[in-house]
Amino acid sequence: MNRSVLINGASVAGPALAFWLRRHGFDPVVVERAPAFREGGHAIDLRGVAHEVVWRMGLAAEIRRASIGTRGMSFVDASGRPRASMPVELLGGEGAVGEIEILRGDLSQVLYDATRDDTEYIFGDHVTALADDGDGVEVRFAGGGRRRFGLVVGADGIHSTIRSLVFGEEAGFARHLGSYTSYFTIPYPMAHDRWDRYHTPLGGRAVAIRPTPLPDEAKALFAFTSPPLSYDRYDTGQQKKIIADRFADVGWEVPRLLSAMWEAEDFYFDTIGQIHMDRWSSGRTVLLGDAAYCPSALSGLGTSLALVGAYVLAGELAAAGGDHRAGFAGYEREMRGYVTASQARANGGETGFLFPKTRAHVMMRDMMIRSLPYVPWRKMIVKRLQQADAITLKDYQS
């Protein structure tokens, strides 16, 4: 039996899957389009059962050490004065800011370091064609190479190349949630107090300054509501102009953030959307994480889905003795309910919170946040949020 598995994507889902596949006796190979390991990125959350997954990996302490230590989320007015604040513990770490927030690149680094010694990583290349003959998959790479693998996994994000090659164009699976987001690193000489600060001017716009582990930098985040836009995904200059035009009249720290944006080398811009698929596998190819079931960029759930999905996919393949049909079926059976609940929780849930339409809506949101510590149903809210993240992990034998 060919136990080699090609994983396309080296962000979070890919290295996490490589970790579990190696533990179960498979031979993973990870290919990444970027020329080198990608550092930085935006802050991501670990929620619910994802904590259990990283504990089983033996990486929980290391991930906690690398975390940002964000204290909570605060909405500020145009003068920077706090209007309403949500500390992390208010909703048991299941609110807008998770108990553990970590930069995507820092989490990827932990996973990469845990797998690099026994997993082949190929940087600066990507898959261009797949030929599944039933017994294996012939893979062609952009660099001209050809290799044969037993299985192929698309762990390459919301704009997955593997999904397009095997299942068809992205438009058939993407669901735009009516907004866009952008983030990038900025110099931040002022002392951090470890709070995410959000300013929400009217007009369907939100902007934030978020801490990082470094004392002299922060992450700027912009988001706005919009029907689908036509733009070049690879033209960051065009994307920066979209942000500059949308926020040109906003006060607070925005003029300084926009000035820094033009110099930012890690600028990111994308739709806030989801991926919905009736099936996540075809033949010997399967999708994992955002490539299969992206819950949305602002949901705070994508990383947890990726980590849990990697654990379940590898475990089900092992439990099936390498029978990919049974393994893929088990993976979908175990994950489908969890994915559906997570996407339902994220689907548009941030719209009224981040993008209040009127001043009255702003006041209502802020009053609701300020009242949360005192309302008797707060524990019910926490319980409901925890249930949305719930999935019972099997104990797979390695």
Query: Token pair of 205, please?
Result: 């716009």
Q: What is the mean pLDDT of the chain?
A: 91
pLDDT of residue 161: 97
Helices (H), 153-223: 161-167
Angle 250-255-258 from CA coordinates, rounded to 5°: 105
Let me know if residue 235 belongs to a domain. Answer: no
Torsion from C-alpha of 373, 377, 383, 385, nearest 10 degrees: -70
Residue 19 lies in a domain: yes
Assigned domain for 113 exists: yes
Indicate the Cα dihedral angle 384, 295, 338, 330, nearest 10°: 180
Residue 171: helix, strand or coil by DSSP?
helix
Q: Confidence band (pLDDT; 50, 70, 90) for 187?
A: very high
Asked whether residue 325 is assigned to any structural domain, the reply reads yes
Question: At residue 384, does pLDDT exceed 80?
Answer: no
**Is residue 139 assigned to a domain?**
yes
The answer as to whether 217 is a domain residue is no
103 alpha-carbon distance from chain centroid: 10
Q: Is the pLDDT of residue 388 over 60?
A: no
As given in the structure block, the two tokens for residue 169 are 């164009």
With left for phi above 0 and alpha for psi between -120 and 50, is residue 57 left, alpha or beta? Answer: alpha
pLDDT at 379 over 80: no
Q: Is residue 148 part of a domain?
A: yes
Mean pLDDT of 182-191: 85
| Structural domain that includes position 162 | 4-39+104-173+275-349
Greater model confidence, 312 or 203: 312
Give dist(CA 69, CA 213) in Å, integer: 8
Residue 386 covered by a domain? no
Q: How confident is the model at residue 190 (pLDDT cuts 50, 70, 90)?
A: low
CA distance 172 to 166: 13
Could you tell me the pTM of the whole model? 0.93
Judged against a pLDDT cut of 60, whether residue 133 lies above it is answered with: yes
d(CA 100, CA 44): 8
Number of domains forming the structure of the chain? 1
Lowest mean pLDDT among 146-160, 241-255, 378-392: 378-392
Please give the single-letter amino acid code of residue 35. Answer: P
Q: For the chain, how many helices (H) and strands (E)?
A: 13, 18
* Structure confidence at residue 293 (pLDDT): 98
What number is the average pLDDT over the span 136-149? 97
Instruction: Indicate the range of 88-92, 162-166, 298-302 predicted with least confidence.
Output: 88-92
Q: Look at 19 and 87; give whichever has higher pLDDT.
A: 19
| CATH code of 319's domain | 3.50.50.60
Cα 321 from Cα 330, distance rounded (Å) = 12
Which one is predicted more confidently, 368 or 264?
Answer: 264
Whole-Å CA distances, 11 to 8, 18, 42, 212: 10, 11, 12, 18
pLDDT of 288 reads 99
Task: Assess whether pLDDT exceeds 60 at residue 387.
Answer: no
- pLDDT bin (cut points 50, 70, 90) of residue 9 is very high
